[in-house]
Copies of this chain bind each other. A is one copy, B any other.
């Protein structure tokens, strides 16, 4: 159904260019500053962190995107520009002004997103030199995805081509994740480009729904970040009938497909992660109950440790579901680990430990919880908790 573009990037849709520079913001000799440009004004929508501690770039971009259009975004790793007060906000504005000047745009048309250490100021001199050196073109989308990585070990990007009755269009995207990743927000940074023509209100609601079902169902460590931002740019060059509430299903499905692909990549590449954990909750009283139960199981430290050790310790799963706030009745719950029944209607089920342990040792582990109270279902993605998570986060700033 979806035509995944080989080596597709955020610059794959028509009319988008991208580029990056090694500005030396925190590390040297590493791409850490990136720009995405649209050749014509794009309908734009965004989802931002719900943590009241919001970085300066989040405050600025959330305000500017209310206009509904944008032409560029500048993003950086190494410095989150959060907890930096009025000076931080001015620095974020300066970053957009530098980009606007360099590419002949209005500052109001430029958005900004930053990730990295909290409580340090942006090194504007290096940012300025870096922006001067960036030469966006259609072949440098991969550089963009690389530049936004922090402790990510994999570059997260994708592009798909869709041929729908409403016309052909392309969606590209790049994301970064790794730490401070948890539901109830648009996770760290994700940028989506598309040449589709999309009606602005529909773009906003479609993005919001897609983020709720994808990025908001990912957890690496339960901690939410002040920087989380998902931005979508639809520049309309595909020339399709505008997608709206009546005909937009193909676009929203494609957008969700890309978001889910990247959300799973973020979970699988959580800091220190060695495997992807998928938690499917069914039979919840409501969809919201299913969501909170799935997210709580996927973010339980004890569940994550057990998955790391391939230990079929299913008691931790039911305890996490129990404390999630979802309505549960322990005596009717059934559960599977990697498809193997371990609990049935509240009671232990005998299983072969050796064979289940070998399934739990694989790179993709699934947990199925059936609450048997209704029709609500939801999927959450997480990862295991390893020694490397501790190592990475015991010395992040120093």
Contacts and interface: CB of A to CB of B under 8 A. Distances in A.
Interface of A: 50-54, 80, 82-85, 117-121, 179-180, 182, 184, 221-226, 300-302, 305-306, 308-309, 311-316, 318-323, 328-331, 342-343, 346-348, 353, 357, 385-387, 389-398
Contacts of A313: 117-118, 396-398
A157 to B, nearest CB: 26
Contacts of A318: 53, 83, 118
A387 B390 CA distance: 6
Query: How many copies of this chain sit in the oligomeric assembly?
Result: 2
A223 B315 contact: no
Contacts of A222: 222, 300-301
Nearest to A312: B397
Q: Give chain A's interface secondary structure class.
A: loop
A394 B390 CA distance: 14
Contacts of A320: 223
A302 B51 contact: no
Top-8 shortest CB links A-B: A118-B315, A309-B394, A305-B393, A53-B322, A224-B323, A221-B301, A51-B322, A387-B387
B347 A223 contact: no
Given A357-B398, A394-B309, A398-B311, A323 B117 contact: no
A306 B353 CA distance: 36
Contacts of A224: 319, 322-323
A345 B331 CA distance: 50
23 contacts: A52-B322, A52-B330, A53-B322, A53-B330, A82-B315, A83-B318, A83-B346, A85-B346, A85-B347, A117-B315, A120-B348, A179-B302, A223-B301, A224-B323, A225-B319, A301-B301, A305-B392, A306-B397, A309-B393, A313-B398, A385-B390, A387-B391, A389-B390
